[in-house]
Amino acid sequence: MIPRYSRPDMAAIWTPEARYAIWFEIEAHATDALAELGVVPKSAAQALWAWWATKPAIDVAAIDAIEAVTKHDVIAFLTWVAEQVGDEARFMHQGMTSSDVLDTTLSVQLARAADLLIADIDALLAVLERRAKEHKLTPTIGRSHGIHAEPVTFGLKLAQAHAEFSRHRTRLVAAREDIATCAISGAVGTFANVDPRVEEHVAGKLGLAIEPVSTQVIPRDRHAMFFATLGVIASSVERVATEVRHLQRTEVLEAEEYFSPGQKGSSAMPHKRNPVLTENLTGLARMVRGYVTPALENVALWHERDISHSSVERYIGPDATITLDFALARLTGVVDKLLVYPERMQKNLDRMGGLVHSQRVLLALTQAGVSREDSYRLVQRNAMKVWESDGQLSLQELLKADPEVTAALSPAQIDEKFDLGYHFKHVDTIFDRVFGG
């Protein structure tokens, strides 16, 4: 966890205090259920909740000190709680195993993390939609392979990102559902010493599903799917970040990250405005992706469980969720305040001397009866002249001066092919698909 890449709400999920609070709630809810089943006295549960109602501070250092002796975290915690609550506390954890607490806690943490991430995506989607609609018809050049292709609108670029993150929202909801299960099934998952109704009760109270079959641990395919989903989302963060980085290049400069007045871009080159936020996002995406493979390697635990997953999750539980949360919020800020330069977009669009309309001419020639091969040749030979002039010559004019072309198309027909609006006639359709009618 890198403080500069952390936001407080997500970081709060992963503090020792937050973890111990969930531990307590699991134990106390379980004690409720055990009392209801007559396994432990109702006074035991009451004592726990009465203490909890005092909103006691959790003394992490004290628990750590006990763990230093027992070398067992859950026993250390139970011991500390017993010191606070008194004799009734001995009924806690009856028939349960440490993993019942640990794994269910991780489910709660990951579910809460997912909730924040879903909210992050919602915020991003809102900003993408606003800016997409703002630039719905702002013409800009579409580029394939980094080369000018045909016109698009800047709004379409953002609509594409919106559709992509809408999919991520769906995937994240599924991943959250996948991870949000409760296992209280005892030492090897047989419920030998704890009735399945305890699990059902605790699950219900915590808003979790029951784990159909656990083996001391909740199976790690769930976690693997969760972290893999974060890795996919991070890759789309990189995609949008890369787009901004490209647009901010000196020669392109169609958009820029917001540049606050006090900000210095470089100690050496004061004129520079660098896309440092989106470059940073590119790096953060690498990290979130990097956590996928360890999560996948965690799946194949030995027999009913080994504990190799645990150290991995101490890293990636916080690191993957905190980093992605930060990245999504940063990306939202970037898009929200992105400086967009429509004039520059138009200028770039014009700089190729009309080459971007060549496809239309090609089609028109074919439809006018010229063979595909000849059409291609005619367009290409004129296009090459424009290309080599670095946009100083005009394709439109060259075509009108080429007798083989004008044999098939009249000057008016040629002119008609250079209408920019032609390309945007279906923008409404696409926006309807993405944002609804």
Q: Please give the positions annotated as active site.
A: 145, 266
In whole angstroms, the minimum distance from the beta carbon of 57 to its own copies comes to: 21
- Between residue 245 and residue 274, which ones bind its own copies under the rule CB under 8 A? 245-246, 248-253, 260, 262-264, 266-274
In whole angstroms, the minimum distance from the beta carbon of 286 to its own copies comes to: 4
- When binding is defined by CB under 8 A, the residue of 15, 43, 193, 410 that contacts its own copies is 193
Q: Among residues 107, 320, 101, 100, which one has the least CA distance to residue 222?
A: 107
Strand pairing category for 181-182 and 209-210: parallel
> Is 84 an interacting residue with respect to its own copies (CB under 8 A)?
no
- When binding is defined by CB under 8 A, the residue of 56, 86, 196, 207 that contacts its own copies is 196
Q: Between 52 and 424, name the residue whose CB sits nearer to its own copies.
A: 424
> Is 137 an interacting residue with respect to its own copies (CB under 8 A)?
no
> Is 418 an interacting residue with respect to its own copies (CB under 8 A)?
no
In order of 27, 74, 105, the CA distances from 65 in angstroms are 21, 13, 22
In order of 21, 141, 159, 243, 407, the CA distances from 335 in angstroms are 37, 19, 12, 11, 49
> Is 147 an interacting residue with respect to its own copies (CB under 8 A)?
yes
- Cα distance between residue 336 and residue 168, in whole Å: 19
- Between residue 218 and residue 237, which ones bind its own copies under the rule CB under 8 A? 219, 221-222, 224-225, 228-229, 231-232, 234-236
195-221 in b/e form (b: 16+ CB < 10 A) is beebbebbbebbebebbeebbbbbbbe
* Beta strands per DSSP E along 192-275: 209-210, 255-256
Q: Between 5 and 80, name the residue whose CB sits nearer to its own copies.
A: 5
Token duo for residue 225: 């799917």
> Is 368 an interacting residue with respect to its own copies (CB under 8 A)?
no
Binding mask 94-113 for its own copies (x = CB under 8 A): xxxxx---------------
> Is 150 an interacting residue with respect to its own copies (CB under 8 A)?
yes
- When binding is defined by CB under 8 A, the residue of 65, 126, 307, 401 that contacts its own copies is 307
Q: Among residues 113, 109, 118, which one has the least CA distance to residue 25?
A: 109
- Tokens 């590119």 belong to residue: 282
Binding mask 20-49 for its own copies (x = CB under 8 A): ------------------------------
- When binding is defined by CB under 8 A, the residue of 192, 392, 407, 415 that contacts its own copies is 192
Q: Between 54 and 165, name the residue whose CB sits nearer to its own copies.
A: 165
- Cα distance between residue 321 and residue 329, in whole Å: 12
> Is 346 an interacting residue with respect to its own copies (CB under 8 A)?
no
What lies within 8 Å, CB to CB, of 51 at 6+ separation is 84, 85
> Is 130 an interacting residue with respect to its own copies (CB under 8 A)?
no
Token duo for residue 405: 């072309």
> Is 398 an interacting residue with respect to its own copies (CB under 8 A)?
no
> Is 306 an interacting residue with respect to its own copies (CB under 8 A)?
yes
According to DSSP, the residues that pair with 182 across neighbouring strands are: 210
